[in-house]
Structure 1
Amino acid sequence: MPSAPTGASARLLVAALTSAAVLALAACGGEASAQPTVPAPVTEAPVIEAAKAAPPTPVVPPRWPLTGVAAAGEVPVRPALAVKIENSGEARPQTGLEQADVVWEEVVEGGITRFVAVFHSQVPAEIGPIRSVRPMDPAIASPLHGLIAFSGGQPGFVQALSASGLQILSQDKGAAGFFRKKGVAPAPHNVYGTPETMWGQADGAHSAAPPTQFTVARQAGQATATLSGTPATSVDITMSGYSHPQWAWDAASGTWLRSEGAKPATARSGARLAATNVVALSVRLVNSGTTDPAGNPVPETVLDGSGDGLVATGGKTVAVRWSKAVQDAPVVLTTVGGAPVSLAAGTTWVELVPGSSGSVTPR
């Protein structure tokens, strides 16, 4: 029996066997040569980011439609209440006028002016003195689609108000909410009213909140006059030979303070009459073809078509153009170049200045 290989012989035998094994494997695979196995590349599992949470929807507080001021809660469902307020010397100081959202000033017979004061965001305990209507009141109040309260008026003027789509509350017709106030002035300068009672008479067709009348900037600094106006400390207005309202800028309150001539204008409460915005519109003043009980011609402010104007906001003034397409459409304000005009949020007084005899002078 042959002996087991040892030493070098053993090593040669192992090498021969290994070579034979390699040749055998090659023969089994045909002509293709064996290739080393390449491991698959290692990749990281895709990282799926969690969906980003949507940003919270900003809470936009409701705003009062006539002032643009943010309301503390939901805006109450009530219509605008327009009231004819007297502005003769015997009527001053007026009651509740400082709580109006918008006030329109118009020239009536004798050069005296009268107000259409519009209430919505505030509810005065009482308002007055209340007087009669005039032919331009439908153009002023009908865009509000609400109530108008007055004491007296020529039948044609009252009919025009009724035909304009407003609900009329007339003291002469027995509407509730009117009373004669003692200790203020003799008749006819002593008719006052209770807004709560007047609002309580709104019918179903006149109960909705009023539509916006002017464009209001979301921030005071974005108001048109504030952005591009000319600095002014006062705006002097001539409505007639009798009426010369003046507005002085008060930076502390951020409002324009009203004076009747040189005398500061105050309400019966003692509050100074003031406005965030003063809008002066140049309008035509024509003879209405009627007279008052004393035989004086009753003028009519023509508030349709278009014209020039001025807006005072934030201690600055800017020239504007105004237009009004139809009676129940609001007045639209644009710059001289045609861009929309924005007011600041707050109260607005609108001066209907006769173009042929009045004047508006910023200083």
Structure 2
Amino acid sequence: MDLSTPPPDLYGRPRADTFFRFLTAFGDRYSPALGSPLLRRNPRRPHSRPTEALQLVVTARRRVAADVVELTLADPSGGPLPGWQPGAHLRLALPSGRERHYSLCGDPAERSGYRIAVRRLPDGGGGSAEIHDTLHPGTRLAARRPRNGFAFCAEPAVLFLAGGIGITPLLPMVREARRNGLDWHLVHTGRSADTLPFAAELRALDPARVHRRADDEHGGPPTGAELLAHAPRGAAVYCCGPAPMLTAVQRALDASPAASLHFERFGAAPVTDGEPFTVRLGADGPELPVPADRSALDVLREARPDLPYSCKQGFCGTCEVRLLAGAPDHRDRRLTPERRADGALLPCVSRAAAGETLVLDL
């Protein structure tokens, strides 16, 4: 994801507390330099108290497109849920133990329930199939508080580009743009009309500004230039969809009327600058070669299918393993320098130099 303006707060709070902003800045500046036991460690890292998990119950389920179900999740006691902002996602702990992230697609003003929509992926890691097959009204599960790495900055002119289920983080943004009177347009693409979720809901927002495009009605997927032709002059583009769509939009951006691009991926970005290296399972365990174009996580899961994972993009931390030896190239956006020095490693994105061997505690 690529944001020109960071979100005000990962949990959606509108502004930071002035006193704690000053206190954090003081600690960041002076704790590395001073030897006093009181100031030796930045109080934020790495031993912050984990946020208590939310306990949720499925209260509603409906089909919103071919192979797509929408779930409404609520507090079992009926109380209000933590607030969030458009673009936020929810990290669910499924009954099987799998953890997966799903964008919130409801209205942030509605605090009585969270809405998510999930497409069944036959070739996925099992999370979507579990949701489709086992999560029905009455099912209880835990979740982390909503976090936002794809914040909506509410620019005056906006173009939203959604590929299939990629509409989920964009739908709350569209509502916000409409509520604030922005100059907005939405293009929703997919293989066929029946695969596009929330068709009626989107039409009700503003039929003149919502453009639905099915590949089977136009001879194939749209080009990046075709998608960006809907952008008002100087618009900010918010895009969520499959990798080919994102690549096409990125390549066509400079020649378009748009001025900036914010995007969120369905999964991990392709490895384009990797070198082949090796991971060893334990000090005396088997060695597994990691090709230049594959992640260590994918290779590890072939040997250990139960190895947990979620985002595959280096921000959730679900796949964390312990490094026993070797010099890794950390590419995640989660681990602090202290955690890395202690041996934490996220194999979904981290790599090593050509010929290097990383020994993992597995």
TM-score by length of structure 1 reads 0.26
Larger proportion of strand: 1
Larger proportion of helix: 2
Higher relative contact order (CA 8 A, sep 6+): 1
Structure of larger gyration radius: 1
